[in-house]
Homo-oligomer: A and B are copies of this chain.
Amino acid sequence: MRTVKKAKRMQSLAAGIKRDGRTIAFVPTMGALHEGHLSLVRRARKLGDIVAVSIYVNRTQFGPGEDLKKYPRTLERDKRLLRLLDVDYLFLPDDSEMYPSGYLTYVETEGITSVLEGKSRPTHFRGVTTVVAKLLNIVQPDVAVFGQKDAQQAIVISRMVADLNIPVKVIVAPTVREKTGLALSSRNRYFSPEQIRRASCIYHGLKRGRELINSGVTDSKKVVSEILRIIDDAEGTTIDYISINDANTLDHVRKITREVLISAAVELDGVRLIDNIKAKPGRTGC
């Protein structure tokens, strides 16, 4: 595995790979890799001749008061894991490479970024779309793999890629979970096993919501209040939102008649967690 720190160097390596007629599959990450990331890298390994992974904790997607400074950084361990998965290139820029002095340009996808995470974190997606546009221009992949765990991010990035005609195929891979059901997240490192057990109520709430929808409940308010009850019952949880939205447009859904995304953002002992699950309505209405 070759570590590349400069954007221009990565671009010229990518151009060479393309000229040779080989394809690049890319997984952008913020490091602190867990089994969720590794599942994306394994998927990339099947999709491209060359696999590139980036590790960059992107400051523009953190809001004021968020955990940018204390975001977990485990670079040496990350590198070992990526080598084991036969990754070809690690793109590892620093802040001055990504946002040099005089930097002025932002990519913004409107509408779908003003709900859910975008409502709670107003500048978050602008940071995400900007850094992903940059990374795609630098690594020039044929395929890029994102996780379903950040469902809204995957939808926003797919929209941005289509809108700006970026020549890459976006793949969204399933969420990987702890045995307890908790979605894997780099922020789970902040937790003890006991906290992980409590945090799993988020997934159990979402699953219960899906069951209700599958069984024919179409009133999204009813579903949300049942999920709310389950998560609220767990000790130390503060709910930011529980929401049911169209799985493609993220429009808010009152009556569930098509596939929806049930999503939740919950603070557990001060650490903010998100999770989601898709659900299709059952045949009977009620």
Contact = CB atoms under 8 A, between A and B. Distances in A.
For this chain, the copies found in one complex come to 2
18 contacts: A7-B165, A15-B18, A18-B19, A104-B110, A104-B112, A104-B159, A105-B107, A105-B108, A105-B109, A105-B129, A105-B159, A105-B164, A107-B108, A133-B164, A137-B165, A137-B166, A137-B167, A140-B167
A188 interface: no
A107 B165 CA distance: 13
A19 B140 CA distance: 14
Contact of A165 (B19, B109, B111, B138): B138
A160 to B, nearest CB: 5
A112 to B, nearest CB: 7
Contact of A134 (B103, B134, B140, B164): B164
A190 interface: no
Given A15-B167, A106-B108, A134-B164, 15 more contacts: A7-B165, A11-B167, A18-B19, A104-B111, A104-B159, A105-B107, A105-B109, A105-B110, A105-B129, A105-B160, A105-B164, A107-B107, A130-B164, A137-B164, A138-B165
Ranked 6 nearest A-B pairs via Cβ: A105-B163, A137-B165, A105-B109, A104-B110, A138-B165, A104-B109
Contacts of A164: 105, 107, 130, 133-134, 137
A21 interface: yes
Contacts of A165: 7, 11, 134, 137-138
A140 to B, nearest CB: 7
Interface in A110-140: 110-112, 129-130, 133-134, 137-138, 140
A107 B18 CA distance: 26
Interface of A: 7, 11, 15, 18-19, 21, 102-112, 129-130, 133-134, 137-138, 140, 159-160, 163-167
Given A18-B19, A19-B18, A21-B19, A104 B163 contact: yes
A166 B18 CA distance: 16
